[in-house]
Amino acid sequence: MKTPLNIAILGCGTVGGGVAQILTQQKELLSKRAGREINLKFVAELNPEAAMKRFSLDEKIFYKNGQKVTIDEILADKDIDVVVETMGGKSDFVHNTCLNVLKNGKHLVTANKALLAERGRDIFLEAETRKLQLGFEAAVCGAIPIIKGIKECFTGDIIESVSGIMNGTSNYILTQMQLQNLGFAEALKLAQQNGYAEADPSLDINGGDASHKLILLIKLAYGLKLSMEELSVVGIEDINQNDMDFAKEINASIKLICLAKLKDGKVYATVRPMAVKNDNILSSVNYAVNAVRLDNKYSDTHFLIGKGAGSTETAMSIVSDIVFIARHGEVETYNEEEKYTLGDAKEIAFPYLVSFKTKNLPGTTGLITTCIGRQGINIETVGHNRFSGETADFSIETDVCCLKSIEKAIDDIKKENKELLLQEPKILPILY
């Protein structure tokens, strides 16, 4: 058997504690799978007593010579082979700590999607330069092995598109709105009460968290290093019960979808609510579950569905990275070559579900459909008109077109009658 692989963990909260639990409880089994002893040597934690009690951990991993183990001591310890970062956040301190882990010749494993997506370029470069492993399976969709799927399982294929539900909180909210007929505010409150949403749920409902995950998948699948500013993102804050009803009329469910599509040498990417047709498996993925769909050139379509968050679920993915490093630590990290460019997301071809709130005036539907037709857009169906006093709500399902054409049609409607539209139309791509 090879020499032992010594591990240190930075932070022992929900995820870090889960990692420590698995490494200590399953040490013998993991060591057999890895072909070498896997040894948790140290954990750097501000409140060791609470962590020991919460996760039933031995105090010896938290202390050295009677003092709490520090991050600096871990970085300087030449016997430490792998450092697991579970402090979270994208601060300068966390960023520099991750860089210093690699600069000190240690492999890095992290679940920190925000850090890697927004500030990870030099971290990836440092790992590549030093031929060290950077494990981040846990950063995208928790327990779902999508990172290894792209990096290892489909290296003989070309991934033509990645789509999926990559944020459990938003999916839980949309599911409650769809199945329980709740309003957005009610569904959000329920998600918070049940532990699926933070007190400040901004990153979940505005698409930020899902965007971090899509950026990492785009880097792996296509080699593109995108910033948050380059990605087209729309959150779920404005989705209401009318939108849910309009989607139901066309046999679809509304989901926050991450999409990256390869076409003619360009990658078109967006994160936004979409009306997912019921014959697409993603439409039936409900509550806090995550799902990723890969459409490949040679091996066709694949779905990976599972828990996208949680202490043990996320920790399991971190431990799987550790076992991989124990087996293949000397192997240079695989990265897709940057050979594609970013396309304009408004040029992605979709059918669209466009919902209007207008004054209740004769000829409204005719004017709107005429303006849409002027842009060369065929209309599949016009939904039921919902009258409420002086206002009306209705939806239109278009044939395949691009968002730019839809936006031009809306501009045309405004020119024809400046007072007709009572709010900006909702534009939902339809995903088959």
**What residues are annotated to the active site?**
213
From residue 328, give the alpha-carbon distance in Å to each of 26, 126, 217, 339, 378. 20, 18, 22, 27, 54
Which of 154, 101, 89, 142 has its CA nearest to residue 318? 142
Closest CA to 242 of 393, 431, 396: 393
* Ramachandran quadrant class, 131 (left: phi over 0; alpha: psi -120 to 50; beta: rest): left
Which DSSP string corresponds to 338-370? Answer: ---EEPPGGG--B-EEEEEEEE--TTHHHHHHH
Angle CA 315–316–322, to nearest 5: 90
> CA 36 → CA 18, 24, 82, 327, 332, distances in Å?
21, 15, 14, 8, 20
Q: Across 63-146, where does the E strand assignment appear?
A: 63-64, 67-68, 82-85, 107-110, 134-135
What is the amino acid identity at position 196? Y
* 241-249 and 168-180 helices, crossing angle to 10°: 80
Phi, psi of 108 (to 5 degrees): -120, 135
Largest CA distance in the chain: 83
CA–CA separation, 351 and 417 (whole Å): 25
Give the tokens for residue 345.
């997301």
DSSP string, 290-335: EEEEEEETTTEEEEEEEE---HHHHHHHHHHHHHHHHHHTTSPPP-
Give the C-alpha separation, 239 to 244, whole Å: 8
Number of H helices, E strands in the chain: 16, 19
Q: How far apart are CA 407 and CA 346, in angstroms?
A: 9
Q: Quick one: residue 7, left, alpha or beta (phi over 0 = left, psi -120 to 50 = alpha)? A: beta
Give the span between the Cα atoms of 20 and 2, in whole angstroms: 22
